[in-house]
Amino acid sequence: MAQHARNPDQTRESLLLAAFEEIYHQGFRQASLDNILRRTGVTKGALYHHFPNKMALGYAVVDEIIVPHGETRWRRLGDESLNPIDTLIEIGEEEPFPFARDVKLGCPINNLAQEMAGIDAGFQERLNRFLDRWRNAIEFALQRGQRAGQVRHDIDPREVAAFMVGAFEGAYGLAKCAGSEEVLETCLNGLKSYANSLRAMEATP
């Protein structure tokens, strides 16, 4: 039989992308390897040459696709030249993922976290680590803002950070269930108002 083009990196990459799609639409446990193979034209032998099992493929999707892309969103929070509240609001207004074309699919990270937490420790640890780093990034940015006089001093940065991440993921979750861009807009507007309420009062000179 005609062998396909032999390019291991490319094969691996297309498997990761197809697996991401399948997992994003179906969840990890409902994701079918046969579907992924059908999507790519890769055969089962090739798949199991690159990954020892389904779990490892799932972990690779998280480690190499979902998490790196998610992190680019809040990386900017570390920029000390910016007002952290402005940055938070900008982040909220951006398109979340290039993946997430459709609000009906929700947030890939939240989807997986809700599905796999309590089921598989490997997934849970990866996703929780991501969410924890996200919370920390916000927390540190708010602390910096407090020192710079941009953020109110009567708020607890750790508490606000956890609340904001929760509210953000919750907004995408609600919108997914509602299947509605409008619900997402409404929730995110609420989040934006909240973020603005964290600003330190301008000292009117």
Partner DNA sequence: CCGTTAACATACCGACCAGTATGTATGTTC
Partner DNA sequence: GAACATACATACTGGTCGGTATGTTAACGG
- Under the criterion CB under 7 A, does residue 31 sit at the interface with DNA? yes
Q: Is 189 within 8 Å of 86 (Cβ atoms)?
A: no
Distance CA 168, CA 97 (A): 14
What is the distance between the alpha carbons of residues 40 and 13, in angstroms, rounded to a whole number? 10
> Which x/- pattern, by CB under 7 A, does the window 47-86 give for DNA?
-xx---xxx-------------------------------
Name the minimum Å distance from CB 106 to a second copy.
Answer: 7
Q: Between 42 and 116, whose beta carbon lies closer to a second copy?
A: 116
| Nearest residue to 165 via CA among 77, 61, 98, 50 | 77
| Shortest CB 128 distance to a second copy, Å | 5
Minimum distance from CB of 194 to a second copy (Å)? Answer: 6
Whether residue 152 contacts residue 198, with contact meaning beta carbons closer than 8 Å, is answered with yes
When the beta carbons of 30 and 196 are compared against DNA, the nearer one is 30
Figure out which of the listed residues 8, 78, 122, 190 binds DNA, where binding follows CB under 7 A. 8
Which is closer to a second copy, CB of 57 or CB of 165? 165
Q: How many CA atoms lie within 13 A of 122 on its CB side?
A: 11
Binding of DNA by 119 (CB under 7 A): no
Using alpha carbons only, how large is the chain's radius of gyration in Å? 20
For residue 196, the partner it binds in DNA, a second copy, none, with Cβ less than 5 to 8 A by kind, is none
121 binds DNA (CB under 7 A): no
Are 197 and 90 in contact, with CB atoms under 8 Å apart?
Answer: no
139 membership: H or E segment, kind and range: helix 121-147
Q: What are the residues binding DNA (CB under 7 A)?
A: 1, 3-8, 11-12, 31-35, 42-46, 48-49, 53-55
